[in-house]
A = this chain, B = another copy of it.
């Protein structure tokens, strides 16, 4: 049986990535694609790499007939997402890729996103979409909130360690290296090729990046007490990939064992042999996350490094994995593409 899919906000990179993944999924059919400013255009005009696919033209959301739709992927900007989802038919299953439903406490949302949440009642039913840790809730959910891509990477590196108290919870430094597609298809000077290529720099320093809201929420819930990491992302001259380098206090072997056991049955989370560290190039275009652990010459210090593709495992692949669960399709369907290297 084929599920009928709508993608709202299909002109952004996560929207296009969803189409790429669904193209070989086999049990989903794309019934509607929306993009306000590009409404009326064929998708091939907006994304020529999808030219070979038989896709509906882009529409305005108002034009979509949701009656035959089984699942909506909402790839709209935050704040917009809230408003749109609040207006959708109540029985639609939804995976939201924006930041709008990630933070359980509306006060947290307001603090990190600078404005009050407009749909707090929907927030109550939203399930946090980090698949491997919320699988059961996701399976039964109507509305799933896709995680931040940085937030996902850091959590894959650290959740089992925090849950097991395998590391000092008050001494976690998280240095992220993020590719540029995470910033979306936005016309900003610092995203130009001439500006970005050949260099790298930190951004959102000082503990100001919004994904900290997710780290705080999730890590504190796991620990049963407040956990606050020091987190700074760096923008890389590359299109896809997040590398999270976590510097922690703990026994490196215990750290490795804890992660290995936690992820032993997870097809997408690959823990490397002790001492081997991952590279973003080896997960590119795939739904995989590679995780490595190294000790240090300093006794009691360790390093955990996680690498994933921000557009796939960090957003659209995760969204599809969650949708599979919600639609009772085998979880890995459409997600077994091997990384595209070199």
Contacts and interface: CB of A to CB of B under 8 A. Distances in A.
Contact of A199 (B201, B279, B338): B279
Interface stretch (A96-104, A139-147, A290-298, A315-323): A290-298
Interface in A210-253: 212, 228, 230, 232, 234, 236-241, 243, 245, 247
Interface of A: 13, 16, 19-20, 23-24, 47-53, 171, 173, 175, 177, 180-181, 185, 187-189, 191-203, 205-208, 212, 228, 230, 232, 234, 236-241, 243, 245, 247, 267-268, 270, 272, 275, 277-286, 288, 290, 294-298, 301, 303, 305, 307, 336-342
Chain A contact residues: over half helix, strand or loop, or mixed?
Answer: loop
Q: How many protomers of this protein does the assembly include?
A: 4
Q: Among A268, A278, A284, A338, which residue has the most Cβ atoms of chain B within 10 A?
A: A338
Contacts of A290: 48, 51
Contacts of A20: 338-341
- Name the 7 nearest CB pairs between A and B, nearest first: A199-B281, A207-B297, A201-B279, A49-B339, A194-B342, A49-B282, A187-B187
B177 A200 contact: yes
A180 to B, nearest CB: 5
A50 B234 CA distance: 22
Given A279-B201, A282-B199, A338-B49, A193 B297 contact: no
